[in-house]
Amino acid sequence: MLPLCLTLSACGPGDEARPETPTRAAMPQAIALPPMKAFSDPRPIRPERSNRDIGRDFLDLSFQLESGRHLPQFSRFEEPITLRVTGQPPLTMMADLDRLLSRLRREAGIDIHRVSQGEANITIEAVSGDQIRRHLPTAACFVVPNISRLADYRAARNRGATDWTRLRRRDRLAVFVPNDVSPQETRDCLHEELAQAIGPLNDLYRLPDSVFNDDNVHAVLTGFDMLILRAYYAPELRSGMTRAEVAARLPGILARLNPEGEDVSPRFAPETPRAWIDAIQTALGPGTSPADRRAAALEALRIAQVEGWSDHRLGFSHFSLGRLLQGSDAALAVQHFAAADDIYRRNPGMDLHRAFTAAQLAAYAITRSRGDEALIWLGSHQATAERHENATLLATLMMLRAEALDLTGRVAEAQAVRLDSLGWARYGYGADWAVRAKLQDVSALNPLKEPNG
């Protein structure tokens, strides 16, 4: 079956038990891969939730760390933000960064610009993944205050300079991203870590439409995220304010920035208990045996059911358990994927979540030679993946569609879709060998391509 890219350590927290550093048949070698594809104009979806819900989310994102510790005051940059890049950034990273900065200026109204030399408020240092993991073993990228180089991190941490709870105003900080992964992985790190560098530091599993969520469903900043960042830099707020002071001004800010949210009824999603978070992180994080992972996923599902949830967190509990059961009980895994899809279907704004479950369900149908069923599962999810700028998911869905078309006898159409998928795969998976390996993995699902098929 087909593992998808939802590892919780992707842009992960620090090296403590409860993190505080804000941090998701072989293709013939003779066939040349097509050029890498890139996304065009962003198409974020505006939030369709009550401003009362969004205000609660804003406060919980802004006054708490991922570890659960509370922040005593609000902090942000109080001047135009300058940003520079150091290290050895890949070319794709620079293009993605400039595109992100343009979005921050246009959609969030933040005065942020890249400089080529001299000191800057934010330094993005592109280093190897190994260098990052030497400092934070479970993270692929992270952000810390009061330094500009990864070499300074350990000493700064030892003297308490990287403690976010002591920060009253942001003046200098660093973002560390990997330069030896796929273009999409580096871009995803840029989006999440830069957003936390200039805005909220917390992640909330209850958010269905945000990168400020460790389920890593969303890869790039969403319409909700841009609204949060625009509110974060509203003139009514300033560094050093208490939670109560921000809360008093927030209703007016959101009414001005998001008037549509004034007429939506609040849903007041319940808090996510620490036990569920710990279970999910154990199930999907690194360094745990398969048996312990499955046990943790079962516990997360049990907690979700006891809590009486019917939202995306219950769906994600089923999805996570399905992923961990694929290798030992594919039929049971499919039941959990189907349960997740049903939950997502009954909640608004879950199209991207459903695209992930569709890939799993279509893959299973292909292994059973049910090409027509796979095509039904795949539906229009390619457009969803493209809108949300997830090339990894988009390429996977297209490769699956090609196998399903082969099963239904539409060989020429299958080959065209398969070829088209490779440009996206080069962005999503990076190295040519990784693209070919992915293509081989998906092809191997098709019983017609078995040695005696």
HEC profile of the chain: CCCCCCCCCCCCCCCCCCCCCCCCCCCCCCCCCCCCCCCCCCCCCCCCCCHHHHHHHHHHHHCECCCCCECCCCCCCCCCEEEEEEECCCHHHHHHHHHHHHHHHHHCCCCEEECCCCCCCEEEEEECHHHHHHHCCCCCCEEEECCCCHHHHHHHHHCCCCCHHHCCCCCCEEEEEECCCCHHHHHHHHHHHHHHHHCCCCCCCCCCCCCCCCCCCCCCCCHHHHHHHHHHCCCCCCCCCCHHHHHHHHHHHHHHHCHHHHHCCCCCCCCCCHHHHHHHHHHHCCCCCHHHHHHHHHHHHHHHHHHCCCCHHHHHHHHHHHHHHCCCCHHHHHHHHHHHHHHHHCCCCCHHHHHHHHHHHHHHHHHCCCHHHHHHHHCCHHHHHHHCCCHHHHHHHHHHHHHHHHHCCCHHHHHHHHHHHHHHHHHHHCCHHHHHHHHHHHHCCCHHHCCCC
pLDDT in tens, 210-236: 999 989 999 999 999 999 999 999 999
Whether 242 contacts 74, CB under 8 Å: yes
Tokens of 274: 């620490």
User: Rounded CA gap, 221 and 33, in Å?
Assistant: 29
b/e string for 317-353 if b means 16 or more Cβ within 10 A? bbbbbbbbbbeeeeeebbebbbbbbebbeeeebbbbb
**CA angle 105-109-112, nearest 5°?**
45
At 68 the pLDDT is 86
> Above pLDDT 90, what percent of the chain?
87
For all residues of the chain together, what is the average pLDDT?
92
Instruction: Assess whether pLDDT exceeds 50 at residue 341.
Output: yes
- pLDDT: is 45 or 301 the higher one? 301
Model confidence pTM above 0.85:
yes
b/e string for 220-243 if b means 16 or more Cβ within 10 A? bbbbbbbbbbbbbbbeebeeebeb
Whether 377 contacts 396, CB under 8 Å: no
At 22 the pLDDT is 65
Please name the residues in contact with 60: beta carbons below 8 A apart, sequence gap of 6 or more.
202, 204
b/e string for 422-446 if b means 16 or more Cβ within 10 A? bbbbbbbbbeeeebbebbeebbebb
Give mean pLDDT, residues 358-365: 98
Q: What are phi and psi of 86, to 5 degrees?
A: -130, -175
User: Rounded CA gap, 240 and 363, in Å?
Assistant: 51
**pLDDT tier, 287 (very low <50, low <70, confident <90, very high otherwise):** confident
Give mean pLDDT, residues 269-286: 94
Instruction: Assess whether pLDDT exceeds 70 at residue 18.
Output: no
First-last CA distance in the chain? 18
Give mean pLDDT, residues 31-46: 88
Which residue, chain included where needed, has tokens 């969030």?
108
CA dihedral 417, 423, 426, 428 (to 10 degrees): -70
Instruction: Assess whether pLDDT exceeds 70 at residue 16.
Output: no
Tokens of 206: 């209850």
**pLDDT tier, 451 (very low <50, low <70, confident <90, very high otherwise):** low
Tokens of 171: 């003046």
Could you tell me which of 62, 16, 21 has the C-alpha nearest to residue 162? Answer: 21
Instruction: Assess whether pLDDT exceeds 90 at residue 13.
Output: no
Strand partners, 125: 86, 176
For residue 107, what are the CA distances in angstroms to 46, 100, 125, 429?
11, 10, 25, 28
For residue 92, what are the CA distances in angstroms to 6, 183, 426?
22, 6, 11
pLDDT in tens, 60-83: 999 999 888 999 999 999 999 999
Could you tell me which of 124, 345, 353 has the C-alpha nearest to residue 222? Answer: 353
Instruction: Assess whether pLDDT exceeds 90 at residue 29.
Output: no
